With several copies, the nearest count.
Chain A
Amino acid sequence: MFKEYNPIENKIFRIIDNEGKVINTEGKPAIEDEKVLKAYKDMLFARTADIMAVSYQRQGRMYTYPPNYGQEAVSGALAQIMREEDWLVPAFRELGAWLAKGATLKDLFLYFKGNEEGTAFRNAKKLLPISVPIASQLLHAVGIGYSINYKQEKDVVFTIVGDGGTSEGDFHEALNFAAVWKVPVIFIVQNNQFAISVPVKKQTASVNIAVKSIAYGMPGIKVDGNDFFAMYAALNRAQEFARNGNGPVLIEALTYRKGAHTTSDDPTKYRTKEEEEFWAQTDPLKRLFLYLKQKNLFSDNEESELIEQYKKEVDRQFDEAENSPATQLEDVFKYMYADMPEDLKVQQMEYEKFLKWKESQQ
């Protein structure tokens, strides 16, 4: 697959077209219908949660939120591919993947409500927290990859970065170390074509992003990131490749951020209606839905029902988050160190004195 879709020729790996028709039967991965349906439902759940998150934020009930709208197939495919023993080292726009690794919506809502409890993903295994400093997380993935080899385990690390993130020095250092150390790390670039307002053509002059793999001596492939099947097949192949000791892979997932960068961004400033309409045609859920419908695996009715059901679940978890106990002073100090310095204890005590005084003033 990697040879066939040599990124230097700027080919793109795609399985279904915008109408959900299979245009590449040879490349189509062998997944049971059931699994495809499950994937679709997961993506639908993620989209529902995502849309609701944006509206909670608009209602002033969360501080910010980075929408996934339009990019769900990347996380959706990844969600099906990751095994329990695989690691996920995320950026900040992969809702479906986080959920698949055991993060809950409640965690996320807490996080975006500014409650640190949400950063921990307490019940998720082998899932790192959301990483905000762009591209810096890729190096953690490589370190984990080293540890996997060191312990002779068979796990694989999936790590994600945006198109903008490919410009950072850490992107380069991570891919270079990964290839030299031959670690089982799959680098997924969600090329949603913007870094906030900056289009990818101002980000790099290379023919595409997958081609950057050549600089590190690792395979790279450009994939239609709005095509669930293509993403699934590419991730599957990469996982197998890495598990078998062949080292890292770079996957460019070409997608489009239909929403705003975060809830404080206004995309009309930097992109046109035409562009948005063009990309609307490629919507990953629409395409997969049409595929399923054509195969009589799913219907409009079922979809509407599911959405209603999902909304309730999302609201339920949001309520839980909203009704979580307020954070305490000690939460500010408790986790700073495994072994807390005396000084922090004193700072906390001193502040408690102030709080007492404050109370006494009322």
Chain B
Amino acid sequence: MVQAVNNALEIKLADDENVVIYGEDAGVEGGVFRVTEGLQQKFGEKRVFDSPLAESAIVGTAVGMAIAGLRPVVELQFCGFVYPAFNQIISHAARIHNRTRGKYKTPMVIRFPYGGGINALEHHSESMESIYGHIPGIKVVIPSTPYDAKGLLISAIESDDTVIFMEPKRIYRAIKQEVAEEKYSIPIGKAKVVSAGTDITIVAYGAMIREVQKAMVMAKSKNISVELIDLRTIYPLDKETIVKSVQKTGRLMIVTEEPNTFGVAAEITAIANEEAFLYLEAPVKRVTGFDVIVPLPASEHFYMQTPEKIFYELERVMKF
């Protein structure tokens, strides 16, 4: 996925001279995960560069650049270090378009890796997508494959809205996939039916897709047919795809890495309840993190959803 993101950035840098990329260590070093590696060498220091260590400034200056006509793509180092920029995101990146009645736009992308499962220390494993999804005025995208990462990031950069682009770092290098060299895009706001099924719908995204797929192997051996939906975009949510599927299967499970309460899974439960109430044959099941801080690696295995755990929950839903 690192490669695919790098490729999308390179394509857009070549494509559009208004695109600039910056962040802590994003220039010379190519970022802590080497996602922007080689781009400064190719496009020069004016277009790909290191910034001082200050997240509020990184996002706040991007707002200014976007207003002035550039298309900044900024990198923040981890989901856990976005918070100093929270005010700039919610008070400005999300609002300039509305506040100026469309006179100024903020075509900017805020990229950062998120999620657990990489044996990282505190503040380096969190998933906080529902917080961003709750903020009116921004869009929130999470890819689950290299192919999607490229297509979605290109759409994000081309979007005239502020897009939060969260990268599941656990699968940065774990999923191998051939990705076309040329430019293509995947629309923001559309979920994808990864595999069709008839007994139960599972909604997931990011690194959880792979875990669910592993659980599906176990399910298959028990003759449970799962329809897997990759959300791809956290906001705007593709209700239609979810609802259609639930109307067909009658059962729904959502798998995320977030803390449970007030998370993405609650919203999807509410959608199913609102739009597929009469079709539901069992309570919607949320398979999510505990309401705790993601533990350090020695205990993280308790927190993260594993194929086994997903299968266990799935069976329980099927037995209802």
Contact = CB atoms under 8 A, between A and B. Distances in A.
Interface of A: 63-64, 87, 89, 111-117, 119-122, 128-129, 132-134, 136, 138-148, 150, 164-165, 167-170, 173-174, 176-177, 180, 195-198, 202-204, 264, 269-270, 326-327, 329, 331-339, 341-344, 347-348, 351, 354, 357-358
A358 B137 CA distance: 29
A107 to B, nearest CB: 11
A198 B103 contact: no
Interface in B27-74: 28-29, 32, 46, 50-57, 59-70, 72
Contacts of B66: 143
B146 to A, nearest CB: 22
Closest 4 CB pairs of A and B: A143-B64, A139-B60, A114-B297, A341-B236
B84 interface: yes
A207 to B, nearest CB: 16
Q: Which of A89, A140, A146, A198 has its CB near the most chain B CB atoms (within 10 A)?
A: A140
Nearest to B138: A337
Nearest to B159: A339
Interface stretch (B118-126, B195-203, B223-231): B118-126
A146 B61 contact: yes
Q: Which of A121, A203, A326, A335 has its CB near the most chain B CB atoms (within 10 A)?
A: A335
Interface of B: 20, 24-25, 28-29, 32, 46, 50-57, 59-70, 72, 80-81, 83-84, 87-88, 91-92, 96-105, 107, 119-124, 136-137, 139, 159-161, 189, 235-237, 239, 260-261, 290-293, 295-300, 302-303, 308-309, 312
Contacts of A333: 290, 292
Contact of A115 (B68, B102, B296, B303): B296
B101 A196 contact: no
Nearest to A361: B308
A167 B293 CA distance: 27
Contact of B292 (A119, A132, A141, A332): A332
A337 B69 CA distance: 17
16 contacts: A115-B299, A116-B296, A129-B100, A132-B123, A133-B80, A143-B63, A150-B46, A167-B53, A177-B52, A198-B25, A264-B32, A332-B303, A335-B98, A336-B97, A342-B189, A347-B260
B109 to A, nearest CB: 14
Given A143-B65, A177-B61, A269-B29, A338 B159 contact: yes
Given A133-B80, A142-B64, A173-B57, A202 B309 contact: no
Contacts of B80: 132-133
Given A114-B300, A173-B60, A177-B52, A347 B98 contact: no
A140 B20 contact: no
B24 A174 contact: no
B64 A114 contact: no
Contacts of B302: 329, 332, 351
B102 A338 contact: yes
Contacts of B308: 358
Given A165-B53, A195-B25, 17 more contacts: A64-B121, A116-B299, A117-B101, A140-B60, A143-B65, A143-B68, A168-B84, A197-B25, A198-B24, A202-B52, A203-B52, A326-B298, A333-B290, A336-B291, A338-B105, A342-B189, A358-B312
A170 B84 contact: yes
A133 B78 CA distance: 10
A168 B51 CA distance: 12
A197 B28 contact: yes
B67 A112 contact: no
Given A139-B88, A144-B65, A116 B28 contact: no
A269 B235 CA distance: 38
Contacts of B24: 164, 195-196, 198
Nearest to A198: B50
B97 A122 contact: no
Contacts of B309: 354
Given A143-B61, A270-B28, A116 B101 contact: yes
B292 A177 contact: no
A332 B295 contact: yes
Contacts of B81: 133-134
Contact of A169 (B54, B62, B98, B293): B54
A120 B103 contact: yes
Contacts of A203: 52-53
B60 A341 contact: no
Contact of A133 (B91, B96, B312): B91
A338 B93 CA distance: 13
Contacts of A169: 54, 56-57, 84
Nearest to B296: A114
A13 B160 CA distance: 45
B159 A139 contact: no
Q: Which of A122, A142, A148, A198 has its CB near the most chain B CB atoms (within 10 A)?
A: A198
Contacts of A177: 51-52, 54, 57, 61
Nearest to B294: A332
B26 to A, nearest CB: 10
